[in-house]
Amino acid sequence: MSAIVRAGRLTIVDAAGRRQTFESDAPGPAVTVRLNSAILPLKLLARPSLALGEAYMDGSLTIEEGSVGDLLAVLTSGLDALDKMPIERLRAPLARIATRLTANRRARASRNAIHHYDLSNDFYALFLDDDWQYSCAYFCDDCNSLEHAQAAKRSHISRKLMLKDGMQVLDIGCGWGGLALHLATDERARVTGISLSEEQLELARRRAEDAGLSGNASFENRDYRDLEGEFDRIVSVGMFEHVGLASYSTFFRSIEKHLAPDGVALVHSIGRMAPPGGMDPWINKYIFPGGYVPSLSETLSAVERTGLWVADIEILRLHYADTLRHWNDRFQARRAQARDLFDERFCRMWEYYLAACEMMFRSGDLMVFQLQLTRKRDAVPLTRDYLYRPTASTTPSSLAN
């Protein structure tokens, strides 16, 4: 444990009341946890990620000093030491094998989406921004709120898509419709959004109707493998993480098939800066069944087989950590309402999820990448200058709306 605690102080009180403290010279949170089960240390040794999350959810681990976020900050300060533990070195290759054998076929993909995204719109309204953006925001230099950063994200993606009036746009994994409605309004595009979540689609359709955009923004329950037609632009934000490694080639072939000859596509996804890994067992069981965080090598290998050009790659490093911090702050402020919708165990699960993901972006190997894809090598400008010229849609006053 001393090798893992490289920042802050961790005190562990076991089920017999024995106390042990591990402290680093590096600054960090001070945390005290109590293990309320004599068998919990063995579980933590055997499957650290799964056992820790479940112990916090079920109350067999309680925090007497600090918060769950503080605990995870201390533990992730020495992630490389955790990865070198004998049990982890044995488990990691098995997890990678399991990942490669997992295929998210249509029925399974639908079940996975329902598990997470159909929880309740009332629940997601507790912590998302006003535009219902459930993906990494873009914290520009003058972004002073989550709303501002999410507006900057929409604008940044719009620039990369290089839209013109009346273009046909496909939004794969459209969520609650925020990006699609932005493209239909500010960029005057005709957008088709697809999702496997009926809760999301119901709200997206209602938002389009309320905004008078039903003619320019439509939303369908459809799998990306069942698409028809051709689109000038294709965008997918926060959906590629659900595709599954076995379907990467199918996903990018679908983009290539339905993208116009001079079209542009943008894929925004959580990724890892390290070599390919496996699925986190706790996240896979409780939060995103069937989900997988890709490495760039796995992703680009699948793109290369389609003949698409990778016109640009951008890496967002700490943007998602800051997004998750905002979500967690909002969730904590309305935690009692979440408990009324579900129960205390659910609230513990959700706060663990938000805190764990934030720490993996701050101390682990997670990042976000944006791939700009084209069929023609000159479909987009040859330099990035066009992304940073001021426009009416990206001035600070407009982003603050």
The per-residue pLDDT for range 198-227, each reduced to its tens digit, is 999 999 999 999 999 999 999 999 999 999
Predicted local distance difference test score (pLDDT) of residue 397: 38
Phi, psi of 142 (to 5 degrees): -105, 15
Q: Are 279 and 95 in contact (CB under 8 A)?
A: yes
**DSSP states of 135-191:** S-----TT--SHHHHHHHHHHHHHHHHT--TT-EEEEET-TTSHHHHHHHHTS--EE
Q: For the chain, which domains are there? A: 9-84 (no CATH), 104-399 (3.40.50.150)
The 366-374 sheet, strands edge to edge = 217-221, 190-195, 168-172, 231-237, 259-272, 366-374, 309-316
Exposure letters 194-219 (e unless 16+ CB within 10 A, then b)? bbbbebbbebbbebbeeeebeebbbb
Q: 23 has which bridge partners?
A: 9
CA distance 187 to 198: 26
HSE, side-chain direction, 13 A CA sphere, residue 256: 17
The per-residue pLDDT for range 254-288, each reduced to its tens digit, is 999 999 999 999 999 999 999 998 888 999 999 99
CA distance 98 to 108: 16
Low-confidence ranges of the chain (pLDDT < 70): 80-103, 391-401
Integer-rounded Cα radius of gyration of the chain: 22
H/E run at residue 262: strand 259-272
Residue from 296, 287, 171, 43 nearest 52 by CA: 43
CA distance 264 to 21: 55
Strands (E), 273-387: 309-316, 366-374
Give yes or no: 357 in active site.
Answer: yes
Structure tokens at 180: 């699609």
Strand 19-23 versus strand 61-65 pairing type:
unpaired
CA torsion, points 167, 173, 176, 182, in degrees to nearest 10? -30
Strand 168-172 versus strand 231-237 pairing type:
parallel
- Bin 389: left if φ > 0, else alpha if -120 < ψ < 50, else beta: beta
Sign of CA dihedral 241, 244, 246, 251: negative
- Catalytically annotated residue among 140, 143, 347, 357: 357
Strand 168-172 versus strand 30-35 pairing type:
unpaired
Predicted local distance difference test score (pLDDT) of residue 100: 61
CA distance 384 to 265: 16
CA distance 179 to 236: 10
**DSSP states of 29-45:** -EEEEEE--TTHHHHHH
CA distance 280 to 342: 24
Listed in sequence order, the residues at least 6 apart from 329 whose beta carbon sits closer than 8 Å to its beta carbon are none
Strand 231-237 versus strand 259-272 pairing type:
parallel
